[in-house]
Chain A
Amino acid sequence: MSDIVLKTENLTKRYGGVHALEGANFELRKGEHVAIMGDNGAGKSTFVRQITAVEQRTSGQIWFDGKEVNFNGPIEAREAGIETVFQNLALADDLDVPSNLFLGREKVLFNLGPFSILDRKYMRKATEAALVRTAVKIPNLSNTIRHMSGGQRQCVAIARTATFASKLIIMDEPTAALGVQETAQVENIIRTLKDNGEPLILISHNMRQVFDLCDRIVVFRRGRIVANLRKQDTDGQDIVSYITGAKTGEAELAA
């Protein structure tokens, strides 16, 4: 169990009558990069929201970093070392880039409880450094992000996870809105994480990307995990047939 970073057993989430996630058994080992694929509405983001405790699960168990965990909210998950780029990005439109990057964990000059004085210079410098890694172009960091492009916003969210030390990074469709250059850059960030042995869960609809970056592919369909395949044992065609339901995973999973 020692090299398992994250494990879920029978993780289930229902929204009223909607069975968004049913009995998900999932494992992630040290240094491993796992892709989650599946159609729209397959339950991928729901799975992430249960792990990060943005929502409270209906049933099931989660182990992280060697212990069973029951996070009370996203703060606890983050404090335990899970950094997440949520699909809806979780950004505050009326704040500028540095404020968003450091949202909820601002660097302070003097600690005066809630009235702690912010270290704005430091946060600005760190933001510039973090954004350079994503290759995004943002003309003025002091503008609010309200009118920034989808890709710029996405890079802010990605830069956020890369700025803080963590034990597990989860990215929910991080390159969905990005241009060619920015996508390549984000993929480079992910490769760097791999080289540093940092585990990652990547949700993506991009087959090429998944095969380029990940060791293992887990397919969700209608709230269930229908396939869990090592990259070398499968190919794009195979994955697509699991996603569409042409192939069902029961046999393989049982084997």
Chain B
Amino acid sequence: MAQTSHGVGGLTYDAKKRSWPAEFNVFLALVILVAIFEAIGRIFLGDSFLFNTRSDVAGIFNEARLQIIILQVSIVGIIAIGVTQVIISGGIDLSSGSIVGATAMIAMSFAQVATVNGNPNPKAMFLAQGLTDLPVIVPLLVAIGCGLLAGLVNGALIAYTRIPPFIATLGMMVTARGIAKWWSKGQPISFPTDSFAAIGKGLMPVIIFLSLAVLFQLIMTYTRYGKHCYAIGSNEDAARMSGIKIANHKILVYVIAGILAALAAVVLSSKNLTAQAGMGVMYELDAIAMAVIGGVSLSGGRGSIIGTVIGALIFGVIISGFTFLRLDAYYQEMVKGVIIVGAVVLDQWRQRLRALRA
């Protein structure tokens, strides 16, 4: 038996029996879910969910499906990264979906071409002002500015007026959606430059999502910022008494969430080659669901970006699984609702269970 004393005071404990990380349970859930779809597929459809069954395509796995699973959650996944650090620090952000809408509209209008098929671009917002064919950095900076501003308002409201995050971000949710509709009076904004269109092409959303996930996992684990997120979410009074500047930190948390939502807007509108006022509706709930499924506790202080990424994959598997089983899209929506509530119930159980085991 490998008994080692890692602690102080000479107390021994079995290093092998360390409780496994919570992410492992989430990963297990993912594996089980895939296995269920695989089994149902084999039994009822005579087809494989995960593996390649076609002889004209090479490879062991059904790569097209794997790509779809992750591609369809990448954009909301980017938002979920921001939402995760918000929830860990004890808050909630309901505005991210609307920030996507407003940012997509505003940023896209600085990414348009001047001419389409030799004619002036009929959808160009700023054709008369000559603000067309701009370098891609312009819409990108505009987007980041939008996200930053929205996050700043959220954060300042929450930090200084002390209204609950739920209410503050609900206000932003409604306002930002209004801005999205007002911006072009409901008209879609289309025909982006090639360089803007390249941002969301092919597997780019996946690459962007995973790079940001790695970056933020590192930030949450190894930086002072991450440590303070967990501290504030865990015990805000203790954090305050320990000298953490709560207001500044909260503002930064919501600013980062806003910027990530804005980046998601850029990727989404680039991928779709158009921006519409209704973009991103309900994304905030999907993002929160991904985090909660991934083990992020709604009461704050617990969870990780890795968990959220796995949560996003579970989300993707469920959606793809339903398509695979040829079930209607209506069922997807219904099941999504059940999953969100189920994940929260699970979170509550987990907390009670922890208390019992102690």
Contact = CB atoms under 8 A, between A and B. Distances in A.
Interface centre among B9, B18, B222 (most CB of A within 10 A): B9
B230 A137 contact: no
Contact of A92 (B13, B238, B245): B238
Contact of A117 (B222, B237, B243): B222
Contacts of B245: 75
Contacts of A104: 231, 239, 242-244
A69 interface: no
A92 B9 contact: no
B18 A118 contact: no
Contacts of A105: 242-243
A140 B10 contact: no
26 contacts: A74-B243, A75-B243, A86-B241, A88-B237, A90-B235, A91-B235, A92-B234, A92-B242, A94-B233, A94-B234, A94-B302, A95-B230, A99-B227, A103-B239, A103-B244, A104-B243, A104-B244, A105-B242, A114-B228, A115-B224, A116-B224, A117-B223, A120-B222, A137-B7, A137-B9, A139-B11
Interface in B1-30: 5-13, 18
Contacts of B8: 128, 131-132, 136-138, 141
Nearest to B239: A92
Contacts of A198: none
Interface residues of A, number: 42
Interface in B206-238: 219, 222-225, 227-228, 230-231, 233-235, 237-238
A92 B231 contact: yes
Contacts of A108: 224
Contacts of B18: 140
A141 B7 contact: yes
Contacts of B249: 114
Contacts of A75: 243, 245
A53 B234 CA distance: 22
Interface residues of B, number: 37
Interface of B: 5-13, 18, 219, 222-225, 227-228, 230-231, 233-235, 237-245, 249, 252, 301-302, 354, 358
Interface in A132-150: 132, 135-142, 146-147
A17 B231 CA distance: 33
A86 B237 CA distance: 11
Nearest to A49: B241
Among B8, B219, B227, B233: residue with most chain A CB under 10 A: B8
Sorted from nearest, which 6 A-B pairs have the closest CB atoms? Answer: A137-B9, A104-B242, A104-B243, A94-B301, A147-B358, A94-B234
A141 B235 CA distance: 19
Given A104-B243, A139-B12, 14 more contacts: A75-B245, A88-B237, A91-B238, A92-B301, A93-B235, A94-B301, A103-B238, A103-B242, A115-B224, A118-B223, A135-B9, A136-B8, A140-B6, A141-B8
Nearest to A129: B8
A215 interface: no
B22 to A, nearest CB: 11
Contact of B227 (A106, A136, A141): A106
Interface string A58-98: 00000000000000011100110000101011111111000
Interface centre among B5, B230, B231, B354 (most CB of A within 10 A): B231
